[in-house]
Amino acid sequence: MNMPQLGLGTFRLQGQSAIDSVRNGLELGYRHIDTAQIYGNEEDVGIALATSKLARGEVFVTTKIWTEHLGGDALAPSLKESLRKLQLDQVDLALVHWPSPARAVPVAESMQALLAARDAGLTKAIGISNFPVALMREAIDAVGAHNIATNQVELHPYLQNRKLAAFAREMGIHVTAYMPLAYGKVMDERVITAIAARLGASAAQVTLAWLLAKGYAVIPSSTKRANLAGNLLADSLVLAPEDIAAIDALDNGGRLVDPAFAPAWD
C-alpha cells in the first residue's frame, strides 16, 4: 500500500466547505484524502476529485464503513454506494470505521466481508479504525495481519496510545493518527510553541512532524488554505531528539473521541 503519510482529513466538513477544502488541498499538493460514510461528505469529496483534473492514480482515497453496514450482506453494497458518491470505481483503502457496537456483528464477519470486497475490486486495501489491541487480535485472526493495511486511531501529544502503537508495530500494521492536533489544543501548548518558535515553524507543523517522525500517517483537516499549505510543510521539518522527548512527555491520556458505543480502550 503506497499511502502518502501526510493526508487531508474531512471530518466535520460538508457541502461547499468540504469541496473547497479538498479542492484547495489537491491544488496545494495533498495526494491522500480521507473521508467516511458517516461524514456525509463523500459526494462533496467526489465533486472535488472529479474537478481536480488529476489522474485517478495520483490521489489516494480512503473511506470508512459505518457501523450499520458491518454485516456480511451489507458491507459490500454500502461500499458500492460510497464509490457511486465518490465517482470512483475503486477506493485505495476501506476501513471498518468503528467496531460493531455491543459486538452486534462479530469482528470476523466484518473483516471477512471487507476482504471479499477487496477481492471483488471495490478497494485496493483494507484496514480498521478505533480498534483497541483485543479487537485488533480478532481482526488479525480473521484475515491475517498482512491484510490489514492500517489502524486509524486518535493519536496526538496528549493521547499517544503507546500500547496499541507498540502492538501494531509488532504485528507489522501501520498506524494512522486522526485528530493529530487535538482539536487545536496543541496551538496553546507551551512545550510545542517553544519548539515552534525556535524552529521558525508553527505549533501544528511541529506536532505533525513529531507524529511523522514516529512513522505514523497523519490526516489533519482545515478549511483555511493557509493552514492546509502550512501543514504540508511538516513533512520537511526535522525535530531534534530532545524535542521529540519533550513532546513525548505530554501524554496524559487525554482522549477527545469517546462515544457511548466505543470499545473498551487500552
Specify binding-site residues. 97
Active-site positions?
A: 39
Which helix (H) or strand (E) element contains residue 218?
strand 217-218
Please give the grid coordinates belonging to residue 183: 482539536
Reading the block at residue 41, the C-alpha cell is 461528505
Q: What single letter denotes the amino acid at residue 3?
A: M
Binding positions for substrate: 97
Sheet containing 150-154: which strands, arranged edge to edge? 8-9, 32-34, 60-65, 91-96, 123-129, 150-154, 174-178, 217-218
Sign, CA dihedral 247-255-178-150, equals positive
Neighbours of 193 (CB within 10 A): 15
121 closest CA partner among 155, 81, 92: 92
In sign, the C-alpha dihedral spanning 46, 121, 106, 142 is: negative
